[in-house]
Structure 1
Amino acid sequence: MIDLYYWTTPNGHKITIFLEEAGLEYRLIPVNISKGEQFAPAFLAISPNNRMPAIVDHAPADGGEPISVFESGAILEYLADKTGQFLPRETRPRNDVLQWLHWQMGGLGPMLGQVHHFKHYAPEPVEYAIERYHKEGERLYSVLERQLAGRDFVAGDELSIADMAIWPWLKAEKQEIDLARFPAVAAYRTRMAERDGVRRAMARIDDINPAANVAMDEEARRHLFGQGR
Protein backbone atom coordinates (compact mmCIF):
# COMPACT_ATOMS: atom_id res chain seq x y z
CA MET A 1 0.00 0.00 0.00
CA ILE A 2 1.20 3.48 -0.90
CA ASP A 3 0.11 6.46 1.19
CA LEU A 4 0.07 9.56 -1.04
CA TYR A 5 0.12 12.94 0.68
CA TYR A 6 -1.51 15.08 -1.97
CA TRP A 7 -3.10 18.33 -2.95
CA THR A 8 -4.58 19.35 -6.28
CA THR A 9 -1.55 20.96 -7.89
CA PRO A 10 0.46 19.97 -10.97
CA ASN A 11 3.08 18.30 -8.77
CA GLY A 12 0.39 16.36 -6.94
CA HIS A 13 -1.18 15.24 -10.20
CA LYS A 14 2.10 13.67 -11.33
CA ILE A 15 1.80 11.01 -8.65
CA THR A 16 -1.91 10.26 -9.00
CA ILE A 17 -1.29 9.79 -12.73
CA PHE A 18 1.48 7.28 -12.04
CA LEU A 19 -0.56 5.37 -9.48
CA GLU A 20 -3.63 5.21 -11.71
CA GLU A 21 -1.66 4.26 -14.83
CA ALA A 22 0.25 1.59 -12.91
CA GLY A 23 -2.88 0.24 -11.21
CA LEU A 24 -1.28 0.43 -7.76
CA GLU A 25 -3.32 0.38 -4.58
CA TYR A 26 -2.97 3.66 -2.74
CA ARG A 27 -4.51 5.74 -0.01
CA LEU A 28 -4.84 9.45 -0.74
CA ILE A 29 -4.20 11.72 2.25
CA PRO A 30 -5.09 15.37 1.58
CA VAL A 31 -2.60 18.05 2.61
CA ASN A 32 -4.47 21.32 2.23
CA ILE A 33 -1.65 23.72 1.46
CA SER A 34 -4.06 26.66 1.50
CA LYS A 35 -4.68 26.01 5.21
CA GLY A 36 -1.04 25.44 6.13
CA GLU A 37 -1.28 21.69 6.66
CA GLN A 38 2.11 21.27 4.98
CA PHE A 39 3.70 22.74 8.12
CA ALA A 40 2.30 20.09 10.48
CA PRO A 41 5.10 18.26 12.34
CA ALA A 42 3.80 14.85 11.24
CA PHE A 43 4.00 15.89 7.59
CA LEU A 44 7.41 17.51 7.99
CA ALA A 45 8.72 14.18 9.26
CA ILE A 46 7.91 12.81 5.80
CA SER A 47 8.54 15.90 3.69
CA PRO A 48 11.09 18.16 5.44
CA ASN A 49 10.85 20.78 2.68
CA ASN A 50 7.16 21.34 3.65
CA ARG A 51 6.01 20.61 0.12
CA MET A 52 3.70 18.00 -1.20
CA PRO A 53 3.46 15.45 -2.72
CA ALA A 54 5.13 12.86 -0.55
CA ILE A 55 4.59 9.14 -0.22
CA VAL A 56 5.05 6.40 2.32
CA ASP A 57 5.55 2.94 0.83
CA HIS A 58 4.42 0.33 3.35
CA ALA A 59 5.74 -2.56 1.27
CA PRO A 60 9.21 -1.53 0.02
CA ALA A 61 11.16 -3.88 -2.21
CA ASP A 62 13.67 -4.70 0.51
CA GLY A 63 10.93 -5.97 2.82
CA GLY A 64 11.99 -3.59 5.59
CA GLU A 65 10.29 -0.72 7.38
CA PRO A 66 8.11 1.71 5.42
CA ILE A 67 10.01 4.16 3.21
CA SER A 68 9.01 7.79 2.82
CA VAL A 69 9.92 9.80 -0.28
CA PHE A 70 9.50 13.51 -0.94
CA GLU A 71 9.94 15.61 -4.12
CA SER A 72 7.73 14.65 -7.05
CA GLY A 73 10.55 13.68 -9.41
CA ALA A 74 12.16 11.44 -6.80
CA ILE A 75 8.77 9.85 -6.11
CA LEU A 76 8.22 9.10 -9.79
CA GLU A 77 11.64 7.53 -10.11
CA TYR A 78 11.15 5.51 -6.91
CA LEU A 79 7.77 4.17 -8.03
CA ALA A 80 9.07 3.39 -11.52
CA ASP A 81 11.96 1.39 -10.09
CA LYS A 82 9.67 -0.34 -7.60
CA THR A 83 7.17 -1.45 -10.24
CA GLY A 84 9.37 -1.80 -13.31
CA GLN A 85 6.99 0.48 -15.20
CA PHE A 86 7.38 3.75 -17.14
CA LEU A 87 11.19 3.92 -16.84
CA PRO A 88 13.30 1.67 -19.06
CA ARG A 89 16.04 -0.45 -17.55
CA GLU A 90 18.34 -0.13 -20.57
CA THR A 91 20.94 2.61 -20.27
CA ARG A 92 20.13 4.77 -23.31
CA PRO A 93 16.31 4.88 -23.16
CA ARG A 94 16.49 5.27 -19.38
CA ASN A 95 18.79 8.23 -19.85
CA ASP A 96 16.34 9.80 -22.32
CA VAL A 97 13.48 9.59 -19.83
CA LEU A 98 15.50 10.89 -16.91
CA GLN A 99 16.81 13.86 -18.91
CA TRP A 100 13.26 15.00 -19.65
CA LEU A 101 12.11 14.31 -16.11
CA HIS A 102 14.86 16.57 -14.77
CA TRP A 103 14.15 19.14 -17.48
CA GLN A 104 10.67 19.42 -16.05
CA MET A 105 11.82 19.51 -12.44
CA GLY A 106 14.53 22.10 -13.02
CA GLY A 107 12.95 24.20 -15.75
CA LEU A 108 9.37 23.78 -16.91
CA GLY A 109 7.78 23.51 -13.47
CA PRO A 110 9.68 26.28 -11.67
CA MET A 111 9.50 28.71 -14.59
CA LEU A 112 5.79 28.21 -15.26
CA GLY A 113 5.20 28.49 -11.53
CA GLN A 114 6.77 31.95 -11.64
CA VAL A 115 4.59 32.84 -14.63
CA HIS A 116 1.52 31.85 -12.61
CA HIS A 117 2.66 33.81 -9.59
CA PHE A 118 3.55 37.10 -11.22
CA LYS A 119 0.56 37.10 -13.56
CA HIS A 120 -2.07 36.13 -11.02
CA TYR A 121 -0.92 36.25 -7.41
CA ALA A 122 1.66 38.98 -6.91
CA PRO A 123 0.23 41.85 -4.80
CA GLU A 124 1.25 44.37 -7.49
CA PRO A 125 2.12 43.89 -11.18
CA VAL A 126 5.86 43.60 -11.81
CA GLU A 127 6.18 44.03 -15.54
CA TYR A 128 9.81 42.97 -15.73
CA ALA A 129 9.05 39.69 -13.93
CA ILE A 130 5.93 39.04 -16.00
CA GLU A 131 7.82 39.54 -19.25
CA ARG A 132 10.90 37.63 -18.06
CA TYR A 133 9.04 34.50 -16.99
CA HIS A 134 6.51 34.55 -19.80
CA LYS A 135 9.33 34.61 -22.37
CA GLU A 136 11.11 31.79 -20.57
CA GLY A 137 7.86 29.82 -20.54
CA GLU A 138 7.57 30.30 -24.29
CA ARG A 139 11.17 29.22 -24.75
CA LEU A 140 10.52 26.01 -22.83
CA TYR A 141 7.39 25.36 -24.87
CA SER A 142 9.55 25.75 -27.98
CA VAL A 143 12.00 23.16 -26.66
CA LEU A 144 9.14 20.75 -26.04
CA GLU A 145 7.57 21.51 -29.42
CA ARG A 146 10.75 20.40 -31.17
CA GLN A 147 11.00 17.26 -29.05
CA LEU A 148 7.38 16.25 -29.70
CA ALA A 149 7.52 16.67 -33.46
CA GLY A 150 6.52 13.29 -34.88
CA ARG A 151 6.26 11.70 -31.41
CA ASP A 152 3.39 10.57 -29.23
CA PHE A 153 5.43 10.80 -26.04
CA VAL A 154 8.27 12.96 -24.83
CA ALA A 155 10.91 10.23 -24.50
CA GLY A 156 10.69 7.07 -26.57
CA ASP A 157 7.66 5.31 -28.01
CA GLU A 158 5.79 4.68 -24.77
CA LEU A 159 4.40 6.59 -21.82
CA SER A 160 7.05 7.34 -19.20
CA ILE A 161 7.49 9.21 -15.96
CA ALA A 162 8.72 12.15 -18.06
CA ASP A 163 5.22 12.51 -19.52
CA MET A 164 3.67 12.21 -16.07
CA ALA A 165 5.88 15.05 -14.86
CA ILE A 166 5.44 17.34 -17.86
CA TRP A 167 1.76 17.04 -18.75
CA PRO A 168 0.24 18.46 -15.53
CA TRP A 169 2.17 21.67 -16.03
CA LEU A 170 0.94 21.99 -19.60
CA LYS A 171 -2.62 21.47 -18.35
CA ALA A 172 -2.40 24.50 -16.08
CA GLU A 173 -3.96 27.45 -17.90
CA LYS A 174 -2.51 30.33 -15.90
CA GLN A 175 0.69 30.72 -17.89
CA GLU A 176 -1.46 32.09 -20.78
CA ILE A 177 0.88 30.81 -23.47
CA ASP A 178 -0.68 30.72 -26.93
CA LEU A 179 -0.94 27.04 -27.86
CA ALA A 180 -1.63 27.94 -31.49
CA ARG A 181 2.10 28.59 -31.75
CA PHE A 182 2.89 25.09 -30.48
CA PRO A 183 0.71 22.58 -32.36
CA ALA A 184 2.70 19.49 -31.32
CA VAL A 185 2.42 20.50 -27.67
CA ALA A 186 -1.29 21.20 -28.07
CA ALA A 187 -1.91 17.79 -29.65
CA TYR A 188 0.15 16.09 -26.94
CA ARG A 189 -1.78 17.88 -24.22
CA THR A 190 -5.06 16.61 -25.65
CA ARG A 191 -3.72 13.11 -26.28
CA MET A 192 -2.55 12.72 -22.70
CA ALA A 193 -5.80 14.09 -21.29
CA GLU A 194 -7.72 11.34 -23.06
CA ARG A 195 -5.87 8.48 -21.37
CA ASP A 196 -8.02 6.52 -18.93
CA GLY A 197 -5.40 6.68 -16.17
CA VAL A 198 -5.08 10.44 -16.56
CA ARG A 199 -8.86 10.85 -16.48
CA ARG A 200 -9.07 8.86 -13.26
CA ALA A 201 -6.27 10.90 -11.72
CA MET A 202 -7.93 14.17 -12.64
CA ALA A 203 -11.23 12.95 -11.19
CA ARG A 204 -9.57 12.99 -7.77
CA ILE A 205 -9.62 16.79 -7.88
CA ASP A 206 -13.36 16.94 -7.23
CA ASP A 207 -13.04 14.24 -4.55
CA ILE A 208 -10.41 16.17 -2.61
CA ASN A 209 -10.76 19.84 -3.49
CA PRO A 210 -14.07 20.75 -5.13
CA ALA A 211 -13.20 24.41 -4.58
CA ALA A 212 -10.04 24.12 -6.70
CA ASN A 213 -11.11 26.97 -9.00
CA VAL A 214 -12.31 29.32 -6.26
CA ALA A 215 -10.34 32.55 -5.90
CA MET A 216 -7.55 32.46 -3.32
CA ASP A 217 -8.35 34.09 0.03
CA GLU A 218 -5.95 35.87 2.37
CA GLU A 219 -5.39 32.81 4.55
CA ALA A 220 -4.29 30.78 1.54
CA ARG A 221 -2.06 33.61 0.32
CA ARG A 222 -0.44 33.83 3.75
CA HIS A 223 0.36 30.12 3.83
CA LEU A 224 1.54 29.85 0.24
CA PHE A 225 3.56 32.97 -0.41
CA GLY A 226 6.48 33.89 1.81
CA GLN A 227 5.02 32.96 5.15
CA GLY A 228 6.81 29.67 5.73
CA ARG A 229 7.20 28.57 9.32
Structure 2
Amino acid sequence: MFKRKTITVLVTAFIVISNIQTIYGLEKGIIKQCDYLNIRSGPSTSYKVVSKTYTNNTVEILGKSGSWYKIKTSGNIEGWVSSKYIGSYKETTEEVKGEALITANSSINKIIDIANTKIGKPYKWGSTGPNSFDCSGFTSYIYQNGAGINLPRTSVAQSKVGSKISRNQLKSGDLVFFNTSGKGISHVGMYIGNSKFIHASTSKGVRIDSLNSSYYKSRFVSASRIIK
Protein backbone atom coordinates (compact mmCIF):
# COMPACT_ATOMS: atom_id res chain seq x y z
CA MET A 1 0.00 0.00 0.00
CA PHE A 2 2.80 2.36 0.92
CA LYS A 3 4.71 1.60 -2.29
CA ARG A 4 1.62 2.13 -4.45
CA LYS A 5 0.93 5.50 -2.82
CA THR A 6 4.58 6.52 -3.23
CA ILE A 7 4.57 5.56 -6.92
CA THR A 8 1.35 7.54 -7.48
CA VAL A 9 2.84 10.63 -5.85
CA LEU A 10 6.03 10.32 -7.90
CA VAL A 11 4.11 9.90 -11.16
CA THR A 12 1.93 12.92 -10.33
CA ALA A 13 4.99 14.98 -9.47
CA PHE A 14 6.67 13.96 -12.74
CA ILE A 15 3.61 15.04 -14.76
CA VAL A 16 3.44 18.39 -12.97
CA ILE A 17 7.16 19.02 -13.40
CA SER A 18 7.01 18.07 -17.08
CA ASN A 19 4.12 20.47 -17.60
CA ILE A 20 5.98 23.29 -15.88
CA GLN A 21 9.04 22.66 -18.03
CA THR A 22 6.86 22.88 -21.14
CA ILE A 23 5.37 26.18 -19.99
CA TYR A 24 8.55 27.83 -18.83
CA GLY A 25 10.60 26.34 -21.63
CA LEU A 26 8.50 28.46 -24.01
CA GLU A 27 9.11 31.64 -21.95
CA LYS A 28 7.98 33.90 -24.76
CA GLY A 29 5.38 33.35 -27.41
CA ILE A 30 4.24 35.24 -30.48
CA ILE A 31 0.65 35.73 -31.58
CA LYS A 32 -0.20 33.76 -34.70
CA GLN A 33 -2.13 35.17 -37.67
CA CYS A 34 -5.55 36.43 -36.58
CA ASP A 35 -7.71 39.56 -36.77
CA TYR A 36 -7.16 39.96 -33.03
CA LEU A 37 -6.92 37.73 -29.97
CA ASN A 38 -9.09 38.35 -26.91
CA ILE A 39 -7.31 38.34 -23.56
CA ARG A 40 -9.70 37.04 -20.89
CA SER A 41 -9.78 37.15 -17.10
CA GLY A 42 -9.85 33.35 -16.89
CA PRO A 43 -9.08 30.21 -18.94
CA SER A 44 -12.27 29.89 -21.01
CA THR A 45 -14.58 31.92 -23.23
CA SER A 46 -17.00 32.30 -20.33
CA TYR A 47 -14.66 34.84 -18.72
CA LYS A 48 -14.82 38.52 -19.64
CA VAL A 49 -12.48 40.11 -22.18
CA VAL A 50 -9.95 42.39 -20.46
CA SER A 51 -7.93 43.42 -23.53
CA LYS A 52 -6.84 42.35 -27.02
CA THR A 53 -3.56 41.50 -28.69
CA TYR A 54 -2.63 41.19 -32.35
CA THR A 55 -0.68 39.16 -34.90
CA ASN A 56 3.10 39.03 -34.23
CA ASN A 57 2.89 40.67 -30.81
CA THR A 58 5.20 38.96 -28.33
CA VAL A 59 4.00 37.84 -24.89
CA GLU A 60 5.41 36.17 -21.79
CA ILE A 61 3.95 32.78 -20.86
CA LEU A 62 3.09 32.73 -17.15
CA GLY A 63 1.14 29.49 -16.85
CA LYS A 64 -1.23 27.02 -18.42
CA SER A 65 -4.67 25.57 -17.76
CA GLY A 66 -5.88 22.99 -20.25
CA SER A 67 -5.73 24.55 -23.71
CA TRP A 68 -5.26 28.08 -22.33
CA TYR A 69 -2.11 30.07 -21.57
CA LYS A 70 -1.83 32.80 -18.99
CA ILE A 71 0.15 35.58 -20.65
CA LYS A 72 1.65 38.98 -19.94
CA THR A 73 1.94 41.58 -22.68
CA SER A 74 4.71 44.14 -23.06
CA GLY A 75 2.24 46.66 -21.65
CA ASN A 76 1.98 44.53 -18.45
CA ILE A 77 -1.55 43.34 -19.19
CA GLU A 78 -2.11 39.84 -17.80
CA GLY A 79 -4.82 37.41 -18.79
CA TRP A 80 -5.70 34.17 -20.54
CA VAL A 81 -5.68 33.29 -24.25
CA SER A 82 -6.27 30.13 -26.25
CA SER A 83 -2.94 28.33 -26.67
CA LYS A 84 -3.66 27.53 -30.32
CA TYR A 85 -2.94 31.16 -31.19
CA ILE A 86 0.48 31.20 -29.50
CA GLY A 87 3.53 30.15 -31.48
CA SER A 88 7.17 29.71 -30.58
CA TYR A 89 8.80 33.13 -30.51
CA LYS A 90 12.05 31.92 -32.11
CA GLU A 91 10.47 29.76 -34.81
CA THR A 92 7.83 32.28 -35.78
CA THR A 93 10.21 35.22 -36.06
CA GLU A 94 12.37 33.15 -38.38
CA GLU A 95 9.34 32.42 -40.57
CA VAL A 96 8.01 35.98 -40.73
CA LYS A 97 11.21 38.00 -40.67
CA GLY A 98 9.89 41.20 -42.25
CA GLU A 99 6.82 41.64 -40.03
CA ALA A 100 8.11 40.09 -36.83
CA LEU A 101 11.33 42.09 -36.68
CA ILE A 102 9.20 45.23 -36.30
CA THR A 103 6.33 44.00 -34.15
CA ALA A 104 8.65 42.05 -31.86
CA ASN A 105 10.14 45.38 -30.89
CA SER A 106 9.04 45.99 -27.32
CA SER A 107 8.32 49.68 -27.92
CA ILE A 108 5.83 48.96 -30.71
CA ASN A 109 4.19 46.20 -28.69
CA LYS A 110 3.77 48.58 -25.78
CA ILE A 111 2.33 51.32 -28.01
CA ILE A 112 -0.23 48.84 -29.37
CA ASP A 113 -1.08 47.58 -25.87
CA ILE A 114 -1.69 51.13 -24.63
CA ALA A 115 -3.78 51.92 -27.70
CA ASN A 116 -5.96 48.87 -27.02
CA THR A 117 -6.72 50.02 -23.48
CA LYS A 118 -8.24 53.22 -24.93
CA ILE A 119 -10.75 51.50 -27.23
CA GLY A 120 -14.18 53.01 -26.56
CA LYS A 121 -12.87 56.35 -25.25
CA PRO A 122 -14.81 59.26 -26.79
CA TYR A 123 -13.62 61.66 -29.47
CA LYS A 124 -13.12 65.26 -28.37
CA TRP A 125 -11.56 67.87 -30.61
CA GLY A 126 -8.30 69.21 -29.16
CA SER A 127 -8.04 66.48 -26.52
CA THR A 128 -4.85 64.50 -25.94
CA GLY A 129 -6.16 62.03 -23.35
CA PRO A 130 -6.17 60.12 -21.22
CA ASN A 131 -9.99 59.87 -21.23
CA SER A 132 -10.83 61.46 -24.60
CA PHE A 133 -8.90 62.17 -27.79
CA ASP A 134 -8.91 63.73 -31.21
CA CYS A 135 -7.11 61.72 -33.90
CA SER A 136 -3.63 63.25 -33.62
CA GLY A 137 -4.04 63.61 -29.86
CA PHE A 138 -4.52 59.84 -29.73
CA THR A 139 -1.43 58.98 -31.79
CA SER A 140 0.62 61.52 -29.81
CA TYR A 141 -0.55 59.97 -26.53
CA ILE A 142 0.19 56.35 -27.39
CA TYR A 143 3.63 57.10 -28.87
CA GLN A 144 4.61 59.24 -25.90
CA ASN A 145 3.41 56.76 -23.28
CA GLY A 146 4.46 53.65 -25.17
CA ALA A 147 7.87 54.66 -26.49
CA GLY A 148 8.70 58.11 -25.12
CA ILE A 149 8.43 59.59 -28.62
CA ASN A 150 7.03 63.09 -28.98
CA LEU A 151 5.02 63.47 -32.19
CA PRO A 152 3.93 66.83 -33.61
CA ARG A 153 0.44 67.83 -32.51
CA THR A 154 -1.54 67.78 -35.78
CA SER A 155 -2.14 65.08 -38.37
CA VAL A 156 -0.56 67.23 -41.11
CA ALA A 157 2.58 67.79 -39.01
CA GLN A 158 2.75 64.10 -38.07
CA SER A 159 2.65 63.15 -41.75
CA LYS A 160 5.94 65.01 -42.25
CA VAL A 161 8.00 63.03 -39.73
CA GLY A 162 9.44 59.53 -40.00
CA SER A 163 10.10 57.60 -43.22
CA LYS A 164 7.52 57.63 -46.01
CA ILE A 165 6.32 54.15 -46.99
CA SER A 166 3.78 52.79 -49.44
CA ARG A 167 0.60 51.05 -48.37
CA ASN A 168 1.93 47.61 -49.30
CA GLN A 169 4.94 48.18 -47.01
CA LEU A 170 2.84 48.79 -43.88
CA LYS A 171 3.87 47.13 -40.63
CA SER A 172 2.45 47.35 -37.13
CA GLY A 173 3.16 50.73 -35.51
CA ASP A 174 3.20 52.74 -38.75
CA LEU A 175 1.07 55.89 -38.95
CA VAL A 176 -1.59 56.06 -41.66
CA PHE A 177 -3.06 59.32 -42.97
CA PHE A 178 -6.36 60.14 -44.64
CA ASN A 179 -8.13 62.97 -46.42
CA THR A 180 -11.55 63.02 -44.72
CA SER A 181 -12.24 66.70 -45.29
CA GLY A 182 -11.59 66.97 -49.03
CA LYS A 183 -8.82 69.47 -48.32
CA GLY A 184 -5.79 67.24 -47.79
CA ILE A 185 -4.60 65.21 -44.79
CA SER A 186 -7.06 65.62 -41.92
CA HIS A 187 -6.99 62.30 -40.06
CA VAL A 188 -4.39 59.90 -38.65
CA GLY A 189 -4.37 56.45 -37.10
CA MET A 190 -1.90 53.65 -36.35
CA TYR A 191 -1.62 50.45 -38.37
CA ILE A 192 -1.83 47.23 -36.29
CA GLY A 193 -1.60 44.53 -38.97
CA ASN A 194 -4.03 42.53 -41.14
CA SER A 195 -5.18 45.72 -42.92
CA LYS A 196 -6.50 47.10 -39.60
CA PHE A 197 -5.72 50.39 -37.91
CA ILE A 198 -6.66 51.92 -34.56
CA HIS A 199 -7.69 55.57 -34.36
CA ALA A 200 -9.89 58.15 -32.68
CA SER A 201 -12.89 58.32 -35.02
CA THR A 202 -14.71 61.64 -35.05
CA SER A 203 -18.11 59.97 -34.78
CA LYS A 204 -17.35 56.79 -32.80
CA GLY A 205 -14.32 57.44 -30.60
CA VAL A 206 -11.30 55.16 -30.31
CA ARG A 207 -11.87 52.04 -32.38
CA ILE A 208 -10.38 49.63 -34.90
CA ASP A 209 -11.29 49.89 -38.58
CA SER A 210 -10.15 48.30 -41.83
CA LEU A 211 -8.08 50.06 -44.46
CA ASN A 212 -10.05 48.00 -46.97
CA SER A 213 -13.40 49.53 -46.03
CA SER A 214 -14.82 51.62 -48.85
CA TYR A 215 -14.66 54.80 -46.74
CA TYR A 216 -11.02 54.61 -45.65
CA LYS A 217 -9.70 52.93 -48.79
CA SER A 218 -10.87 55.86 -50.93
CA ARG A 219 -9.48 58.43 -48.47
CA PHE A 220 -6.06 56.92 -47.76
CA VAL A 221 -3.26 59.39 -48.56
CA SER A 222 0.05 58.20 -47.13
CA ALA A 223 1.87 56.34 -44.38
CA SER A 224 4.98 56.93 -42.28
CA ARG A 225 7.26 54.71 -40.21
CA ILE A 226 8.32 56.30 -36.93
CA ILE A 227 10.15 53.36 -35.34
CA LYS A 228 12.44 51.50 -37.76
**TM-score, length-scaled by structure 2:** 0.31
Structure number with the bigger relative contact order (C-alpha 8 A, sep ≥ 6) is 1
TM-score (normalizing by structure 1)? 0.31
Higher strand share: 2
Structure index of larger Rg: 2
